[in-house]
Chain A
Amino acid sequence: MEIKVVKNVLAANENIAQANRELFEKNRVLVLNMISSPGAGKTLIIEKTLEAFAGDVRMGVIEGDITTTLDAERLKKYDVPIVQINTETFGGDCHLDANMIANAVKDVDLTRLDALFIENVGNLVCPAEFNVGEDCKIAVASIPEGVDKPLKYPLVFIESKLAIINKIDLESVLEFDTEKLKNNILKVNPKIEIMSISAKTGAGFDGWLKWLKLHLKK
């Protein structure tokens, strides 16, 4: 006999993501899932944001890495709740899933947070496939990666609400065509918002801080 089932294979993850979403919503916490290749500058963006909003916006960070607590160590001095997730000591999962986030937030007092950064494992492919209950995904593309990444790894840009082009201080040194990168991002997602910044020099950073404040829920 044949039975029709039509079941989503990723339903298990989706169900947990939905529960996370409800928990975040109940506490009015803005949750941002930051995705990029390794070395695009996610941690520095978070670091400078914590610095800029110290005493103003209450933030927390979930750090996802395959291994090491280097990023969490780096953010320690800002005195905000930080949970480090290591997917495996000797090379494990290439992304964070909803269940890892559900476990990580158990240690965080969400009632005392306005925003929670989830710094995903540096990888442009897999993190885009898994919802974790975030309000939105943010794709970070840095100039040294070249103009073609949105075309090569479209899904992360399709799934993101905002694309941050980072390291624009390298624009002239690398003779980089930022407009071309923007066009390629828009080609795969015409609705995405794009901003250009340098987390290092602070160029364009005000725009990012404004964006973040605008999206806070309390």
Chain B
Amino acid sequence: MHEAYITENIIKIVDECVRKERPVPAKITVKRIKLKFGKMSGVVSDSVKFCFDIMAKDTILEDARLEIEEIPVTALCRDCNRTFRIEEVCFFCRECGRSNIEILTGREILVDAIEFS
């Protein structure tokens, strides 16, 4: 997908959030960044890691470790009210077979948490 663009945004978000927490100029080192990517977001984790190593160089994120959690695709069937996981490309309710479903998770591209010192 657009991993360079996504990585650039991740770096921007982390930088902004950390500086807001530490408004007084001081040495900040970001240690760990927790990311959440939905299985249906199209983001390739390995490509983000690859881009991050290059793009974070000489920034406060340089030594940060990326922790990426993959979020499964889940849906709610509005007819039988069941929540279920979608493992393959078939968007019908696993229980009742109907199509009145709502995707609940799986599209996320999130910066979830940041650890820094």
Contact = CB atoms under 8 A, between A and B. Distances in A.
Contacts of B112: 4-6
B42 A125 contact: yes
Contact of B111 (A2, A5, A12, A187): A5
A1 B10 contact: no
A10 B9 contact: yes
Contacts of A7: 13, 17, 110-111
A126 interface: yes
B106 to A, nearest CB: 10
Contacts of B13: 5, 7, 9
Contact of A187 (B14, B91, B103): B91
A3 interface: yes
B91 A9 contact: no
B109 A187 contact: no
Nearest to A158: B91
Interface string B103-117: 100001111111111
Interface in B74-117: 89-92, 99-101, 103, 108-117
A31 B109 CA distance: 26
Contacts of A158: 40, 91, 103
Contacts of B110: 6-9
A189 interface: yes
- For chain B, the bracket of interface size reads 20 to 34
A171 B90 CA distance: 26
A203 interface: no
B113 A188 contact: no
A8 B9 CA distance: 9
Contacts of B14: 5
A189 B14 CA distance: 35
Interface of B: 1-2, 6, 9-10, 13-14, 17-18, 21, 32, 40, 42, 89-92, 99-101, 103, 108-117
Interface of A: 1-10, 12, 125-126, 129, 151, 154-155, 158, 186-191
9 tightest Cβ-Cβ pairs between the two chains A and B: A190-B99, A2-B115, A9-B109, A9-B9, A7-B111, A154-B89, A7-B13, A4-B113, A5-B17
Given A3-B18, A6-B110, A158-B91, 12 more contacts: A2-B114, A5-B17, A5-B114, A6-B111, A9-B10, A10-B6, A12-B9, A125-B42, A154-B89, A155-B42, A187-B91, A187-B92
20 contacts: A1-B115, A1-B117, A2-B116, A3-B21, A5-B13, A7-B13, A7-B110, A8-B108, A8-B110, A9-B109, A10-B6, A126-B1, A129-B42, A151-B89, A158-B91, A187-B90, A187-B92, A188-B89, A190-B91, A190-B92
